[in-house]
Structure 1
Amino acid sequence: MEWWMAAILMLGMVIGLMAICVPVAFAFLIANVVGAWIFMGGWVGVEQLAANVGEAVSSFVLVTVPMFVLMGNLFFHSGIALKIIETLDRSMGRADGRLSYISVLCGTIFAALSGSNMANTAMIGGLLLPQMKQRGYASHMSIGPIIGSGGLALLIPPSTLAVLLGSIAQINIADLLLAGLIPGLVLALLYVATIWIQVRRDPSAAPAYDVQVASTGEKLFLIAKYILPMSLVVFCVVGFILLGITTPSEAAAFGVLSVLILAACYGRLSRDMLVKSVMGTLRVSVMVFFIILASKTFSQVLAFSGATSGMIRWATAYEFTALTMLLIMFAVLLVLGMFVDAISMMLLTIPIFFPIAQALGFDPIWFGLVMLLAIEMSGTTPPFGLLLFVMQGVAPPGTSYWSIVRAAAPYLICDLILLGLLIAMPGLALWLPELRL
């Protein structure tokens, strides 16, 4: 069978099964079994595929996934997140558009503590949107900053999707986590600049209101009590990896321990909180490991059928520049994001895109971060961007879907600016990984 026929068969089976509402992991597993039967010699191929299942999910580095998920669940269920928002609210004074700025600050801090863009968006939206509506904020000054900053969790470590991408693509997860820190902070600054411009153009979109301004002493006390301790968690995850003290899996465990210590110090460590956190972690982790299993065997079948090598030859046969091919792959991810979720996108594209990127000479860590940026953008790309639906779920009644899309548009432009910066200055992503001891 020609390589392109094998590729169409495998991808067509997956897309067709998902189109009839078969869960993502099961769609890939069914396609894998059929592909192994056709391309790997019937039952012998299926048995070989089954033998590879244990290896796919037994890697020590995958311990990072449940640890990061547990860390985020402990952070939210302990109520520490709410205290951080209250502290930022008291510390901002009467600044124009203060709640919009607070949403970006919260998104940046929560991204370093949760690892989930959907959890990040839901938490900030649920806490801040009612206040914004009550204060008369326009949708582009309330919904826009929240949906933009919610996506920062994909770039700023710890990012669960970054761990998943690194595992599927078989690249260094520690380096990929570190690579997202500086670009994530740059993106947050771009969001702040966007809010500043919007406030200057239309002050009535974020009307000022009287607040009880905390004294300098009160601000310093609140920051010291609720903001600075968060640096312990960040250091346990990012700092330990950067200094070469721990592996990503060990750093994630230290991150969980640090959140537990903080929760105990704040008097918020309870049996109910622990049970909710562990059960939430169990549900997400089982899903993620099932998906990793399905994706790795999918890559093996694609490679055995000749589809992977054929697509590499096809992509490199045309006289496209490396930059043009990069933009084509980025555009494909954005288009896919209009119809499928982030995990499905990774499962479909990583086995194809990473071999092409390697053939074109792209640094795998840098390319992995570009893929994460595309996936982050796809979360706010209509018609089926998941963050758009998460936002609609927490938005006030009567908020239309298309008003959410319009509010998110300026923040998609910020994402494109960051893409341009990453292309012009790859060191933006690679500097921290190169410093790792």
Structure 2
Amino acid sequence: MDIALVGTILFGSLVLFMALGIPVGFTMGGISLILGFVFWDGLPSIDGFVLGSYSKTTQAVLTALPLYIFMAAILMYSDLADDLYEVVYRWFGGVRGGLAAGTTFISAVFAAMVGVVSVSTATLGMVARPSMLKRGYDDKLTLGVIMAGGTLGILIPPSIVMIVFASEAEVSAGALFMGGVIPGIVAATLFMIYAYIVCLLNPEKGPAIPKEERFTWKEKFVSLKSVIIPLAVIIVVLGSIYLGVATPTEAGAVGAVGSLVAAGVRRKLTLPNLKNMFLMTAELLGLIFWILIGAVAYARIVSVTGVGQAFAELITGVDLNRWWILIFMIIFFLIIGMFIDTVAALLITAPFFIPALHAMQFDLVWFGIIFVIACCVGNLSPPFGVSLFIMKGVAEDVSIKTIYSAVWPFVVLLLLSMIIVMIFPQLVTWLPEVMRN
């Protein structure tokens, strides 16, 4: 059968069944089983899919997933956001836009502890938003800052998406973690500068708290004690990876223990909280691994039919500069990310993109960070960005239209971050190189 027709069937059927509402993992797996029977020796193809899925899901790098998800669950149910927000309120509340910029700072701290989007967005939506609205902040700015800050969870390491990308691209998860540090700081800084400038130009969007409500220097420094444990967890996790003392998986185990200690100090290790922590871990892990299993089968059938290799040859054979091809890939991914989960989007496109990127000799660690920034954009982009619906869940009084309109400035800032990383690849490659040396 013509390779173009096979490729059309592979991708077209995937889009069709996802449009019908069938879960992504089951869609990829089901299509692969059917086409494997046709193109790959009938029933024996099932053995190939099973063995491939077993090999993928038992990769050492993926053992880090449950640990970092568990860290996120611990922090979700330990009310750590309350104490961190109190620090921001005391230190930055007296500055126009200070609470908005400070909320981004908290998001960055959360990002360096969790690795997922949902925790920061949900907790700060419940903690920071009511406080900011009470003090006269513009709701669109408030919503945008919280949702944009939440996306940093997959850009500032540790990151669940980076671990999945490392598994698919066969690159070092530790190198990806280190590569994401500076771009994450760049994105967070752009968010804070934007919030400050908006409030400087329009004071009514983010007024400073009245002088009588401001805190003394003593009260400000006392509040910093609540930052000690979170910073210790961050330093232990990232520091151990950077120094080569621990792998990302081992660092995740240490971080999980540190997070449990933080929750214990706050007396949050109650039976209901522990139940919720383990339940959240199991649910997210189950979701990711079902997608991974389906993706393995899909990647196998793409490889066996020759569609992946044909796509790579087609891309590299086009008389275009490789940078234009890279830009078209990113645009394609950004469009897909508007409609489906970013992990699923990665696993769908990886069998096509990664061989082509290899052929064009792009650094896959550098591209991995660009891809993660694209995932951040996808999480924020209407109509189906996950951050939008998380925010709607915790801010039921706001219309989805208002939430959509609140994110666009931050989508632009993320795209600006991506352009900066593309122009200055050293922002990604420098820290991993130092780590290797």
In the alignment, what sits opposite 1:269? 269
Question: For residue 204 of structure 2, what is the amino acid of its counterpart?
Answer: S
Distance 1:431 1:76, change over 3 A: same
CA contact (8 A) 2:78 2:266 kept: no
Question: Displacement of 1:161 after TM fit?
Answer: 1.5
| 1:231-250 correspondence runs (5 A) | 231-250=231-250
Aligned residues: 435
**Secondary structure of the residue that 2:213 maps to in structure 1?**
coil
Question: For residue 222 of structure 1, what is the amino acid of its counterpart?
Answer: S
Question: For residue 119 of structure 1, what is the amino acid of its counterpart?
Answer: V
In the alignment, what sits opposite 2:429? 430
In the alignment, what sits opposite 1:56? 56
**Secondary structure of the residue that 2:339 maps to in structure 1?**
coil
Question: For residue 422 of structure 2, what is the amino acid of its counterpart?
Answer: I
In the alignment, what sits opposite 2:175? 175
In the alignment, what sits opposite 2:252? 252
In the alignment, what sits opposite 1:392? 392
Separation in 2 of the partners of 1:328 and 1:150? Answer: 27
Question: For residue 414 of structure 2, what is the amino acid of its counterpart?
Answer: D
Question: For residue 383 of structure 1, what is the amino acid of its counterpart?
Answer: P
Question: Displacement of 1:3 after TM fit?
Answer: 2.2
Question: Displacement of 1:140 after TM fit?
Answer: 3.1
Distance 1:270 1:400, change over 3 A: closer
Separation in 2 of the partners of 1:119 and 1:76? Answer: 6
Separation in 2 of the partners of 1:375 and 1:152? Answer: 10
CA contact (8 A) 2:81 2:124 kept: no
Question: Displacement of 1:396 after TM fit?
Answer: 5.0
Separation in 1 of the partners of 2:20 and 2:336? Answer: 17
Separation in 1 of the partners of 2:264 and 2:382? Answer: 42
State the TM-score, normalized to the length of structure 1: 0.96
- Please state if 1:419 is matched with 2:433: no
Separation in 2 of the partners of 1:286 and 1:383? Answer: 25
CA contact (8 A) 1:117 1:152 kept: yes
Separation in 2 of the partners of 1:272 and 1:139? Answer: 33
Question: Displacement of 1:111 after TM fit?
Answer: 0.7
In the alignment, what sits opposite 2:298? 298
CA contact (8 A) 1:117 1:151 kept: yes
Question: For residue 54 of structure 1, what is the amino acid of its counterpart?
Answer: Y
Instruction: Spell out structure 1 runs of 4+ moving beyond 4 A.
Output: none
Question: For residue 379 of structure 1, what is the amino acid of its counterpart?
Answer: N
CA contact (8 A) 2:166 2:172 kept: yes
Q: Can you list the C-alpha shifts for 1:200-254, whole angstroms capped at 9, x where unaligned?
A: 221111233326322222222221x111321211122211111111111111000
Distance 1:336 1:403, change over 3 A: same
Question: For residue 359 of structure 2, what is the amino acid of its counterpart?
Answer: A
In the alignment, what sits opposite 2:403? 404
Question: Displacement of 1:265 after TM fit?
Answer: 2.9
RMSD: 1.6
**Which structure 2 residue ranges, 5 or more long, are not aligned?**
none
**Secondary structure of the residue that 1:412 maps to in structure 2?**
helix
Separation in 2 of the partners of 1:241 and 1:123? Answer: 27
In the alignment, what sits opposite 2:96? 96
**Secondary structure of the residue that 1:166 maps to in structure 2?**
helix
In the alignment, what sits opposite 2:129? 129
In the alignment, what sits opposite 1:362? 362
In the alignment, what sits opposite 2:353? 353
**Secondary structure of the residue that 2:214 maps to in structure 1?**
coil
In the alignment, what sits opposite 2:44? 44
| 1:13-32 correspondence runs (5 A) | 13-32=13-32
CA contact (8 A) 2:157 2:177 kept: yes
**Secondary structure of the residue that 1:390 maps to in structure 2?**
helix
| 1:140-159 correspondence runs (5 A) | 140-159=140-159
**Which structure 1 residue ranges, 5 or more long, are not aligned?**
none
Q: Can you list the C-alpha shifts for 1:379-436, whole angstroms capped at 9, x where unaligned?
A: 1212222212222222251x23232222211111211221121111111011111122
State the TM-score, normalized to the length of structure 2: 0.96
Sequence identity (%): 27
